[in-house]
Amino acid sequence: MRSLRPLFDSNRRWSEEITARDPEFFGKLVGQQSPDYLWIGCADSRVPANEIVGLLPGELFVHRNVANVVVHTDLNCLSVLQYAVDVLDVEHVIICGHYGCGGVHAALRNDRLGLIDNWLRHVQDVMKKHHLRLAELPDEASRLHRLCELNVIEQVLNVGQTSIVQSAWDRGKALEIHGWIYDLHDGLLRDLTVGIRSAEEYAEVYRRVIED
């Protein structure tokens, strides 16, 4: 088995580099974190949240799971969302999916992989909701491409429907939910333009998605 020593060596170099640039960096972080954004993304190792957007520790609050799914019974994800919105007072929640997502692909193909199949049922629900549009696409690659996008859009709607976000909007808190997708081919993010800042905008985006 490979030794994990290189990870510790690399960690030491990273810490030294950061400290060389800003000797106070870690000292300031110990005091408190005040990120401006919550990132909900895929657990995929090729989509490291902070690196993609060039943010340092302390600048991005992160929750990741397979296929960036937000489920209303997932206490883990909801707790992250509630803490970010109510305690850290973030004003932007970013749902970021990615093209070529293995979880979305497994859902699309109805693969049998084990326990994870149950989790991916949520992505299959998205697929079923949009099956007419997906069926019009010429091949599996284009269906995967579109389902990755649709999955992000549906998660944006799920976040907007949580009691946490609804309550925040009710009390007038500035809070915008964004749907983005990352392309592994060029390392670039794309905004899916389903940003929601209020209950009114939620209804508008919901209609747009349903009618599409």
Least distance from Co ion to the Cβ atom of residue 13, Å: 29
- The verdict on 164 binding Co ion (CB under 5 A) reads no
Tokens of 89: 């007072």
How does DSSP classify residue 57? T
Contact range with Co ion by CB under 5 A, out of 16-24, 71-79, 100-108, 114-122 = 100-108
Nearer to Co ion, 44 or 149 (CB): 44
Q: Is 44 a catalytic residue?
A: yes
Nearer to Co ion, 74 or 176 (CB): 74
Residues 6+ apart with CB under 8 A from 125: none
Which helix (H) or strand (E) segment holds residue 40: the answer is strand 37-42
The dihedral through the CA atoms of 162, 80, 167, 58 has a sign that is: negative
Q: Are 94 and 39 in contact, with CB atoms under 8 Å apart?
A: yes
Q: How far apart are CA 31 and CA 22, in angstroms?
A: 16
Q: Which residue of the set 44, 63, 143, 178 is catalytic? A: 44
Q: Which residue of the set 13, 22, 36, 46 is catalytic? A: 46
* Residues of span 16-45 touching Co ion by CB under 5 A: 42, 44
Q: Are 161 and 95 in contact, with CB atoms under 8 Å apart?
A: no
- The verdict on 101 binding Co ion (CB under 5 A) reads yes
Least distance from Co ion to the Cβ atom of residue 83, Å: 24
- The verdict on 108 binding Co ion (CB under 5 A) reads no
Determine the straight-line distance between the first and last CA of the chain, rounded to whole angstroms.
Answer: 51
Q: Are 161 and 72 in contact, with CB atoms under 8 Å apart?
A: yes
Q: Is 77 a catalytic residue?
A: no
Nearer to Co ion, 120 or 165 (CB): 120
Q: Which residue of the set 63, 98, 122, 178 is catalytic? A: 98
Residues that bind Co ion (CB under 5 A): 42, 44, 101, 103
User: Which residues are identified as catalytic?
Assistant: 42, 44, 46, 98, 101
